[in-house]
Structure 1
Amino acid sequence: MRYLSFALIFALPFTGFAQHSKIDKRVDSVLKLMTLEEKIGQLNQYTGDRDATGPITTSPNKLKDIRDGKLGSMLNIRGAKETREVQQVAMQSRMKIPLLFGLDVIHGFRVTFPIPLAEAASWDLTAIENSARVAARETAAAGVHWTFAPMVDIARDPRWGRVMEGAGEDTYLGSKIAFARVKGFQGKGLGNLDAVMACAKHFAAYGAAVAGRDYNTVDMSEHSLWETYLPPFKAAVDAGAATFMNAFNTLNGIPATANSHLQRDILKGQWKYPGFVVSDWGSIGEMVDHGYAEDKSQAAELAIKAGSDMDMESRSYLPNLAKLVQAKKVPVSLIDDAVRRILRKKFELGLFDDPYRFSNEARQEKELNTAENRQAALSMAEKSIVLLKNEKQILPLSKELKKIAVIGPLAKSEKDMQGFWSISWQNDQLVSLFQGLKNKVGDGTELRYAKGCEIADSSTTGFAEAIRVAKQADVIIMAVGETLDMSGEAKSRAHIRIPGVQEELIKAVQEVGKPVVVLVMAGRPLIFNWTADNVPAIMYTWWLGSEAGNAMANVLFGDYNPSGKLPMTFARDEGQIPIYYNALSTGRLAKNDTDTRYRSAYLDMPNIPKFAFGHGLSFTTFDYSGLMLSKSEIRLNEKIDLSFILKNTGKYAGEEVVQLYLQDKFASVARPVKELKDFKKIMLKPGESKTVTFTIDREKLSFYDQQLKWGTEPGDFKLMIGTASNNIQLEKDFKLIN
């Protein structure tokens, strides 16, 4: 059976739209039949009363507003049954325009994947796209049309809790991941029953909040905006992202929600973006709190004029836009443009043909939590683990070990493995580290557990039990870090050390004299200097999702050789923040840790981080040799091919993330000391060699000049091949000439 509103019945006979696509004709025909109030209703989004990502807003008028055509979308409603029931109410409205259902599907729906920052540590674009693909299949099967992901904000301050939701500090890597995640969510295109609308957020520069404090002010040059923060959003546009979400912050004094430069000039103008923009939760009304609008009426006027198409839960558009149109403060053409953008997506999803096409309980039962989906989550979790340190080759562990001590407040935690921005289920089926180890070892290996301490308290009363258990073991595995509610939205921290007395616990256990492996579980880069300096084996395992414990066990025992690389710099102290690898040089750059006299340096600590961007070890070793360039000089439209030999010189098969960096030595705008320009993930067997090639073209040499024009300049360049940003193995110079 097909569900047709009377608007659709009359959609096709209209003429005079030859320049439009078939969908555009249908959109215009619906728009012609709508009252102003119904148009404004399409720009209004309410939340459901469960799974809220913001304050739950219960209201007895929600269903009435839907019947009256005063709602275009709802968020936080999920499940085939629930979405069908609410959609049936929308079909009682005069125009029978279907609702869009949105949900924060950030790193998995029924099956939870690693947090996005962890996935970024994989540097595996195929796996990241597949993670979003699995999430989209499950989400769509549960009647949801739209996810508020990916977050593509570049973030260089780990005090900001939302670093866990993005891809880290680097613009190039972040752009590649943004593209991959949009493609994963949207699959072969909107309208397919396994695709959901992606939403690139937060437009723009939200990740640069002053002092790393969520929702705080952002102040930056246009050059920094274009050079660092906008490219991932452009990548999302190029990938076909259906929607954008604007940001909570002010940018240079203008709230992003009312920033016409961002939304009208850049996004919808220069980039010709055809999708629609939704506000972040309540951000239109929050312009009053910013001191930018005197009331919600003025906030609505500013937001719609700036290009904010849909009002998420601020209740500003619905009561005010009609009055603003009647007062000739807002042209109805702006309302029409916003409505067209929203209706177009509803047509692309096929909701006008069948409003219930995603609300299929049989398909939901078939798609959710399958063995295939869990295997994908396991594989992604393995790829996300970063081996920070492995002195004395403690790892991988022998499967012949008789007694293993598993110590730490996160050793048996299941819920924390899910991480922030995850969806709760009655039976989550989350695998803790302890359970993963139990699944891995045979009956001949005894696992002994001690909690040692709580995450954030000051009590050391559990140390004695931990030491007793440690003394009885052949090897000690320690699980420390953050709980899932310590990183995420509104989870900024001034101090990002491992909380409580956990590092003191590590010291106490280390003194036992047995081999120690520390697993740090967190949503951000933490500071743990004593552990980093003294513990021989450290893995950063983030929050890895449903299969966390199994993934960690597979890596610990060598069934998966870790290949992750850090997507963010790890500071040695909060006083270094913000710290990132691709900084500009200075006129007085310190040459080493002791070179502090009238230099850009600290008196009390080195400039360098504890762990650099791109760092990550393997159980095997790799040798780089024989760098060759096809040319030493190129003209503007020519390319350079570079090649070198990568060899696995160790005992294990493994993957190496080969990183290509470039330095523009002299330019009309000072350039970073190095910039990531490409990377490849190469699998090699022990003793195997492979020729790795990259191509340097005009695009890789371009930058924004003083007038913000994108282009190249003749000059000297340095190419660097490395295993991390601070571990360059090969380098050569070349020239770009006129």
Structure 2
Amino acid sequence: MTQKRAARGAGTRIGRRALLAGSAQAALLGMLPVAARAASAQIDDLIARMTIAEKAGQLSCFNDEIRPVGAVFNPVVDPRGADAMLADIRAGRVGMLFNGYGVAGARQAQQAALRSRLGIPLVFAADVIHGCRTIFPIPLAEAAAFDPDLSERAARAVAEEASAGGLHWTFAPVVDVARDQRWGRVAEGAGEDVLLNRQLAAARVRGLQGPDLRRPDGLLATPKHFAGYSAVRGGMEYAAVDMSVAELRETYLPPFAAGFGAGALATIASFTDFGGIPATANRWLLTDMLRGELGFGGVCVSDYDADRELIAHGVAADEADAARLAILAGVDVSMQSGLYNRHLPGLVASGRVPMARVDEAVRRVLALKDALGLFDDPFRSLDAATEKKRTATPAIRTLAREVATRSIVLLRNREGLLPLPRKGRRIALIGPFGADRANLNGPWSFAGDAKDGIDLASGIRALLADPAAFVVEAGSGIHEPLPGGIARAVAAAKAADVVLLAIGEAGDMSGEGNSRVEITMPAAQQALAEAVAMTGRPVVVLLRHGRALALEGAVRDAPALLCTWFLGEQTGAAVADILFGVREPTGRLPVSFPLATGQQPWSYDRRGTGRPAPDADPVAPGRSHWRDAPDRALFPFGSGQGYTRFTLADLQVPPRLASDEVLQVRVAVTNAGARRGEAFVRADIHDRVASRTRPVRQMKAHARVTLDPGERRIVTLAIPHAELALVAADGQWRVEPGAFDLWVGAGGEELHSQFDAV
């Protein structure tokens, strides 16, 4: 063993909780959730008085059939109707309802709960993923803003609206790090980077829960899905997951720890198996890791019908066996299956499940209700006047537009094609999404109404000085050609000075259950793009999508290319603001766009290989690449540009970083263009020699700075010593001493340096 390797083996050991929570914020894990604190006398008294059937009822969560929303999110399981549900509530067989909306129905249900023998209030939950009544951009789009403060503000606004509609709890945020764009639920999270996922997990939890969960506008957050859910084989929803424990700790657990550290009191177990044992039955995952290693003291909920699905997984013999496995693994609440109601009394009576384990779960649920203030005020968040006052307000719609604008990513802008002038150009908006409202919101839009959305045509027309110089033509359907559609589109393009091509995915092509074998453009839209490009008119592609796509042909090569995601109800206004330069494009990719679908899974921070291909010859024989493509992305993580350009100079990096220090990286940023703009400055590192192979590079800090033309400013990026840690070969978190590469980039400019950690 070399002296350097020996020294690395004896590096600075760092506690797992501290590392997972995230360096400077590690102390947050000392603030254990309320549910982990000593139970109140009231809760002890209730548990002592409860029958086993009433305990099972508190551990049972059901779809709200008293106030259903129009959207259907899950398969129909055990429907019962409103009257039967109210009877079950009065009998103490229901602890919580989910995916209902509206104060009037919630008050009716809560009154039924208070008439039960013990009068324990219900808690009302929902999948409020990116807006309640007012729909914001999908979380992946919002992640493109790289702005935790913006995400926190958005989450706070969503919580205020959702709680006004009679909700206490949301099954969000999704904190699954997603490296395979075939997986549909990429849309619901923050992309492929661990640091960004950590930052946004904490920000969204803080925003949803607010300063005090007992306030009427506090909305309980639920980081999900625990854990490794996004690493499914082949990107297939609900498929198997296998990974090393080191990969779990380094990549998939840190965002959960950040969310728990910010105060989240609940989590949802993954649908998938993990290492051959379904998460819902996986005691190592839900007890040893979640509660032991992460110190989580809150409530763990099964996903929808996931405990019954243990039978289909092949690990449970029948429903009673599935309920036994789930409760013993650490699932406190059964969602929708009804298994706990039907089988926990018998399992306890037979001795197959200890009463102490049931009591532990009940205590957590009751403590959660206490944390929400429901024992003091069962009708908190159930006020009709507040519902009317705080729903779809001008303020929340203004914020939704700001978030949408900040989410847009400009990937290419040859010869300054954008921004467009508001007069003097004939513009053709071509594509199935030009005048479309049905697909603005994307997946999981909960109580949103598509008719409230601003389509692209309306948003663009509102900013034009001469709307008569603007024509809209679909050209094709989303999946199928339209009779004569391409001919009409080509004629419209030829009569225009510039073409806006609005193409991409339908709203139901992303989200849960929407994995794709090929993440390319639907064939009908690709044919439309090729025909329009052949006219020779300059084309601005406006992509609508919930994942990174493998772009081809005329779409890939378009002179201007914008990622416009699923931006919610303010889509048209936000896109128009960017197109005409009312706002500068400031978004950056939170996921890498591949050269081809076959590269998946892929991420910018992939681990190195013993045979890397040289940059000058990425398909060099005998080196790491595919036969027909290099090992790189078309547009990697962090890609994006604005309407000006920036230069970097005078990079200053301290030569050594001690264990009690923060690396202060300084760089001079200059706006070298003619427009005011915002620079996105990012620092990546690489550990040169380690006991385990390391990512080729990994983001460790980022900052934004707004500069006028010609303005120069020093930007400081802070990297705490703990951010250099890895799970070493012996399974322990530590910073191994030695040399690190460091890159600082902004808008295509990049400078390199190095430093030593001690």
Give the C-alpha shift of residue 518 in structure 1: 0.8
Say yes or no: does 1:734 pair with 2:755: yes
3-state SS of the aligned residue for 1:225?
A: helix
User: Matches of 1:97 and 1:603 in 2, distance apart?
Assistant: 63
The equivalent residue for 1:342 is 365
Select between 83-92 and 358-367 the one with higher mean Cα deviation: 83-92
The answer to whether the Cα contact below 8 Å between 1:460 and 1:501 also exists between their aligned partners in 2 is no
CA distance in 1, matches of 2:699, 2:113: 49
Counterpart Cα distance in 2 of 1:257 and 1:533: 42
Question: Counterpart of 1:25 in structure 2: which amino acid?
Answer: A
**Equivalent in the alignment of 2:646:** 622
- Aligned twin of 2:721: 698
1:691-715 deviations in whole A, cap 9, x for unaligned?
Answer: 0112333211111112221111111
Distance 1:666 1:276 in 2: 41
What is the SS of the residue equivalent to 2:508? coil
1:424-476 Cα deviation digits (max 9, x unpaired): 45574100000001111124652111110001114563011111111221221
1:594 is displaced (CA, Å) by 5.3
Residues in 1 aligned to 2:222 and 2:313: alpha-carbon distance in whole angstroms: 25
| Aligned match for 2:745, one of 718, 722, 725 | 722
What is the aligned counterpart of 2:588 among 565, 570, 574? Answer: 565
Contact 2:125 2:171 in 1 (8 A): yes
| Aligned with residue 670 of structure 2, among 620, 644, 647 | 647
Q: Following the alignment from structure 1 to structure 2, what is the Cα–Cα distance between the partners of residues 717 and 88?
A: 62
Q: 2:566 aligns to what?
A: 543
| Alpha-carbon contact 1:652-1:686 (below 8 Å) kept | yes
- Give the partner amino acid of 2:640: G
After the TM superposition, which of the residue ranges 279-288 and 457-466 deviates more from structure 2? Answer: 457-466
Letter in 2 for 1:430: G
Distance between the aligned counterparts of 1:20 and 1:660, measured in 2?
A: 37
**Could you list the per-position Cα deviations for residues 42-99 of structure 1 after superposition, in whole angstroms to 9, with x for gaps in the alignment?**
0011112333421234215322211110110111221011111111111121011011
Residues 107 and 474 (structure 1), Cα distance of their counterparts in 2 relative to 1, 3 Å cut: same
Equivalent of residue 631 in structure 2, options 598, 602, 607: 607
Matches of 1:379 and 1:559, distance apart in 2: 12
8 Å contact kept, 1:151–1:200: yes
Counterpart pick for 1:324 among 329, 347, 355: 347
Contact 1:401 1:445 in 2 (8 A): no
Structure 2 residue runs without a partner (length 5+): 1-34
Is the contact made by 2:135 and 2:569 (CA closer than 8 Å) also made in structure 1?
yes
1:45 aligns with 2:61: yes
Partner of 2:324: 301
Looking at structure 2, the residues matched to 410 and 21 of structure 1 have their Cα atoms a distance apart, in angstroms, of: 51
Conserved 8 A contact 2:618-2:625: no
**2:58 partner amino acid:** Q
Superposed displacement of residue 224, structure 1: 0.6
Q: Say which is worse superposed, 304-313 or 648-657, in terms of deviation.
A: 648-657
Aligned residues of 1:431 and 1:550 also touching (Cα < 8 A): yes
1:633-644 equivalences in 2 (<5 Å): 633-644=656-667
User: Matches of 2:399 and 2:148 in 1, distance apart?
Assistant: 14
1:197-276 superposed matches below 5 A: 197-276=220-299
| Alignment match of 2:91 (pick from 61, 68, 73) | 68
SS in 2 for 1:26: helix
Q: Match of 1:503?
A: 526
CA contact (8 A) 1:203 1:246 kept: yes
Q: Indicate the SS of the match to 2:327.
A: helix
Q: Distance in 1 between matches of 2:449 and 2:55?
A: 39
When residues 385 and 426 of structure 1 are mapped into structure 2, their CA distance, relative to the original with a 3 A threshold, is closer
Structure 1 residues 123, 97: closer, same or farther in 2, change over 3 A?
same
Alpha carbons of structure 1 residues 451 and 716: separation in structure 2 relative to 1, 3 Å: same
- Structure 2 residue matching 1:150: 3-state secondary structure: coil
Deviation string for 1:643-673 (max 9, x for gaps)?
A: 0101111121111221110110001111111
Structure 2: distance between partners of 1:211 and 1:648 = 43
The one-letter code sitting in structure 2 at the alignment partner of 1:619 is Y
CA distance in 1, matches of 2:559, 2:425: 21
Distance of 2:597 and 2:532 partners within structure 1: 26
Mean Cα deviation higher: 454-463 or 385-394: 454-463
Q: Shift of the alpha carbon at 1:516?
A: 1.4
2:604 to 566, 575, 581: 581
What is the one-letter code of the residue matched to 1:152? V
SS in 2 for 1:676: strand
Check whether the contact 1:404–1:445 (CA below 8 A) recurs between aligned residues. no
Q: Contact conserved, 2:541 with 2:555, CA < 8 A, in 1?
A: no
Aligned: 1:55 with 2:75: yes
In the alignment, structure 1 residue 24 sits paired with structure 2 residue 45: no
SS at match of 1:636: coil
Amino acid of the structure 2 residue aligned with 1:270: E
State how 1:646-725 maps to structure 2 within 5 Å: 646-723=669-746
Offset of residue 22 of structure 1: 8.3
Q: Is the 8 A contact 2:741 2:755 kept in 1?
A: yes
Q: Deviation per CA, 1:361-388: give whole Å up to 9, x if none.
A: 1000000000000000000000000001
Q: In the TM superposition, what is the alpha-carbon distance from 1:634 to its structure 2 partner? A: 3.2
Report the CA distance between 1:20 and its aligned residue: 10
Which of these residues, 117, 123, 136, is aligned with residue 113 of structure 1?
136
Query: Secondary structure of 1:485's partner?
Result: helix
Deviation at 1:220, TM superposition (A): 0.5
Higher mean Cα deviation, 589-598 or 249-258? 589-598
Q: CA 1:376 to 1:596, structure 2 compared with 1: closer, same or farther past 3 Å?
A: same
Task: Give distance in 2, aligned partners of 1:175 and 1:728.
Answer: 26
Task: Write the letter of the residue equivalent to 2:47.
Answer: L
Paired with 1:674 and 1:425, the residues of 2 have a C-alpha distance of 40
Any conservation in 1 of the 2:437–2:450 contact (CA below 8 Å)? no
Using the size of structure 1 for normalisation, the TM-score is: 0.95
Give distance in 1, aligned partners of 2:451 and 2:445.
11
CA offsets per residue over residues 605-632 of structure 1, 9 Å max, x none?
2221111110001111011111012x31
Give the Cα–Cα distance (whole angstroms) in 2 for the partners of residues 636 and 89 of structure 1.
58
The 5 A counterparts of 1:449-464 are 449-458=472-481, 461-464=484-487
TM score, norm. by length of structure 2: 0.92
Q: Does 1:529 align with 2:529?
A: no
What is the aligned partner in structure 2 of residue 3 from structure 1? Answer: none
- Distance in 2 of aligned mates of 1:234 and 1:614: 24
Q: Does the residue aligned with 2:699 lie in a helix, a strand or coil?
A: strand
Q: Give the superposition deviation at 1:254.
A: 0.9
Deviation at 1:682, TM superposition (A): 1.5
Of stretches 532-541 and 204-213 in structure 1, the one that deviates more from structure 2 is: 532-541
SS at 2:312 equivalent = coil
Where does the alignment leave 5 or more consecutive residues of structure 1 unmatched? 1-18
Show CA shifts across 1:233-272 (max 9, x none).
0111101112100000000011111111122112222322
Counting aligned pairs with the same residue, the percent is: 40
| Equivalent pair of 1:384/1:564 in contact (CA under 8 Å) | yes
1:610 match: secondary structure: strand
Shift in alpha-carbon separation, 1:376–1:706, aligned structure 2, 3 A: same
Task: Say if 1:596 and 1:603, in contact at 8 Å, map to a contact too.
Answer: no
Aligned to 1:547, the other structure's residue is in SS state helix
Q: 1:372 to 1:269 in 2, by over 3 A?
A: same
1:150 is aligned to 2:173: yes
Task: Please state whether the residue corresponding to 2:42 is helix, strand or coil.
Answer: helix
Of residues 577, 596, 600, the one that matches 2:620 is 596
Letter aligned with residue 298 of structure 1: D
Contact kept in structure 1, 2:461 and 2:467, CA below 8 Å = no
Shift of 1:514: 2.1
Alpha-carbon distance in 2 for matches of 1:636, 1:604: 45
